[in-house]
Amino acid sequence: MLWAWGVVLTLLLGSVPLPLAGGSCPAECLCASDILSCSSISLKQLPATLPSTAATLDFNHNQLSQLEEGSFAGLPRLDSLQLAHNRLVALARGTFRNASSLRHLDLSSNLLRVVEQHYFQELVGMEELLLFNNRITQVESLAAGLSSNLRKAYLSHNLLTDFPFFSIQEHSHPFLSTLDLSSNRMTRLPVEDIWALPPAVQSGLFLHNNTLICECSMYGLFLHWEQRGFASAREYHRDHTCLLYGERRASVRFFQHRRFFENCTLHMPQVGERDGGSLLAYVGDSITLECQTSLQGGQHTRYFWVSPHQEYIAPPGNTQGSLHMHANGSLELVSAQVKDSGVYWCMALNRRRNETREVNVTVVPRHVEYEPFNTGFTTLLGCVVTLVLVLMYLYLTPCHCWCRKQPPAPTTTTPSPANECSAAQSSILTPSTPPATTEGPGRRVSNIKHVVFREPVREVQNGRLLHIKPQVRHDASEPVTSVFSDTLIIR
């Protein structure tokens, strides 16, 4: 019995919001444990006092237009702050002062326009930042503006035309694994800066649904992501699009319309000085490997290359002519083949010191994918064209004599040239009933309309086929035509 009353008491107490230990719960807000929820109550400014023990603050779906300096000071346990669906246009300097414990910040669906460096400088422990669905047109350098502990940043559905990729380095953001820049207005990408990003960042970099203008360098980048199985290329395979010549109506998919890029020579930027570069090309492409060292351009600098097959290459190239060295030390593969794949070593030497450079080359066969052909549409079109041609042939056959049928003169039996043309026309296409005649004993000619050719009557005599012209009864006032013969008879 006591156990049953205990259960009832627990349920009753659990259904009543409990006040926070650090202070009273603001009016119209809900407080439970270390959570303060003030969502959807039309707040225009933050409450004057916040419980010091709060770990989660929920101010979603309100009308907040500004945050004052030190708005969240005195909250040592603050871990998650949710400010989505408000009217914030900018953040005052020092907004997050003394809120260093904050790890999750949601500023999505606001009216932010610029992400300045000072916005998040105090948030040294922030791991996840949500800025999607704003009006952001510019993001300042992230190196000094975001925490080194940052793991995920979402900036999709904004108005970004560029992004400071150069500010993201392996030592500055070693844990960054997701950077969502999809659905913005970027037309071109700094491909070299993106190639310089750590592989962990590239694998979680989302650039789909932008207004990119088609370029071979971007195609090479996305193709590399596809081959590596990166999440952006795998999960949004159809959404990586670009505009041919910048025309919005000429949108193509990088991975499904490869024929538009089949003539690209894919020079992939070389990453780093000593940590190895990479280059991907198709069979038959001309590839140029740059020997980029600090000695490049020196007057007394000499260059040598070593191929993956341990072939020593010096100017002007190898004996087969497939590898050619230029004066600046670059090595050209005249017509790349699959067997040319591997690591190429470049050595630059002068009187004082020498340096080496490594380039990893991958040559793959060229695969051209064609779009499916709509056979149903072409079949229908062919039927329509055929029907039109048949109707034209039947009803629009031209009169080569350019004449009209004239009534025959009552006093003569010889038709005029005009009537001759009419007779010739009626023998081919005549809408009237032909004269009565016989095809043989007891047989009459049926009414024929729009018949162009008929076989002549044949009879057998003494074992031989004979062509018999039928006897035609005619009126002296009309020209006579032969229905069963190819020869025009005029009497």
What is the rounded CA–CA span in Å between residue 419 and residue 491? Answer: 12
Judgement on whether residues 116 and 223 belong to the same structural domain of the protein = yes
Range(s) of the domain holding residue 343: 277-364
With respect to residue 470, please indicate whether it lies within any of the assigned structural domains: yes
Q: In which residue ranges of the chain is pLDDT below 70? A: 1-23, 142-144, 170, 246, 266-278, 293-299, 351-353, 366-378, 397-491
Judgement on whether residues 307 and 409 belong to the same structural domain of the protein = no
With respect to residue 383, please indicate whether it lies within any of the assigned structural domains: no
With respect to residue 66, please indicate whether it lies within any of the assigned structural domains: yes
Q: What is the pLDDT of residues 266-317, one digit of tens each?
A: 655 443 333 345 677 778 888 888 877 666 555 677 888 888 877 888 888 7
Judgement on whether residues 312 and 403 belong to the same structural domain of the protein = no
Judgement on whether residues 142 and 221 belong to the same structural domain of the protein = yes
CATH number of the structural domain spanning residue 304: 2.60.40.10
Task: Give residue 41's pLDDT.
Answer: 94
Judgement on whether residues 409 and 443 belong to the same structural domain of the protein = yes
Task: Give residue 27's pLDDT.
Answer: 84
Judgement on whether residues 447 and 418 belong to the same structural domain of the protein = yes
Judgement on whether residues 78 and 111 belong to the same structural domain of the protein = yes
Judgement on whether residues 315 and 457 belong to the same structural domain of the protein = no
- The torsion region of residue 186 among left (phi > 0), alpha (psi -120 to 50) and beta comes to beta
**Total number of domains constituting the chain:** 3
Domain stop point among 261, 291, 319: 261
With respect to residue 386, please indicate whether it lies within any of the assigned structural domains: no
For the record, the structure tokens of 125 come out as: 């422990």
Domain stop point among 212, 232, 261: 261
With respect to residue 244, please indicate whether it lies within any of the assigned structural domains: yes
CATH number of the structural domain spanning residue 248: 3.80.10.10
Judgement on whether residues 45 and 136 belong to the same structural domain of the protein = yes
Query: Scanning the structure block, which residue is given the tokens 């020579």?
Result: 265
With respect to residue 97, please indicate whether it lies within any of the assigned structural domains: yes
pTM (whole model) above 0.85: no
With respect to residue 387, please indicate whether it lies within any of the assigned structural domains: no
Judgement on whether residues 66 and 175 belong to the same structural domain of the protein = yes
Task: Give residue 224's pLDDT.
Answer: 86
Task: Give residue 103's pLDDT.
Answer: 95
Q: Which amino acid is at 314?
A: A
With respect to residue 12, please indicate whether it lies within any of the assigned structural domains: no
Judgement on whether residues 399 and 487 belong to the same structural domain of the protein = yes
Judgement on whether residues 300 and 359 belong to the same structural domain of the protein = yes
Domain stop point among 345, 364, 383: 364
What is the rounded CA–CA span in Å between residue 314 and residue 292? Answer: 17
